[in-house]
Amino acid sequence: MDNPQRKQCGKPECKRAFNTDRMRDWNRRHCAKTGQWYHRNYAEQHREYSRRRYQEQPHWRVLHPERAALIDARRRMRMLEAQTSEVFAPLDVHTRDGWTCQLCCEPIDQAIAWPHPKSPSVDHIIPLSRGGAHALSNVQSAHLGCNSSKCDKGMVDAVLALAGQAAPR
């Protein structure tokens, strides 16, 4: 080595040994200060941090479900290039439909929150993926579970699937 103050020569083996010694010294100092060894269980630490943070303040989607649904619908519409766009709130759709699921005809409880299967959601009658418009005339109230089981089928396909029949082609 040319420089006497340098602690390593630059070879990979020397760098590895230097960093190992440095981390070992740091871990000893950490143990002396805190009384426990430092553990590299990043995944568990991150899960614990996320749990604590979620308990302190839930995700913004939980705090603002109508805004999140509107953002998701706009994103899907942009991705699938839906025909028309209309700005409306999910509350408008549920009020119009009398808080009744249009797929199973059972009442929707406003107090049940997402992600419960009986929580309220807005269903596109003609799915955006099949060229349907994101307009008030193409949406209806539905339970989240009913909407999820409908997937991207149209109304006729969904009703026949619920009845256990095959769709006519």
* pTM of the predicted protein model: 0.47
Find the DSSP H helices in 81-166.
Answer: 90-96, 144-150, 155-163
Q: Extract the residue ranges of the chain whose pLDDT is less than 50.
A: 1, 167-169
**Judging by beta carbons within 10 Å of its beta carbon (0-12, 13-18, 19+), is residue 149 exposed, middle or buried?**
middle
Cα–Cα distance for residue pair 95/74, rounded to 1 Å: 21
Per-residue confidence (pLDDT) for residue 169, from 0 to 100: 44
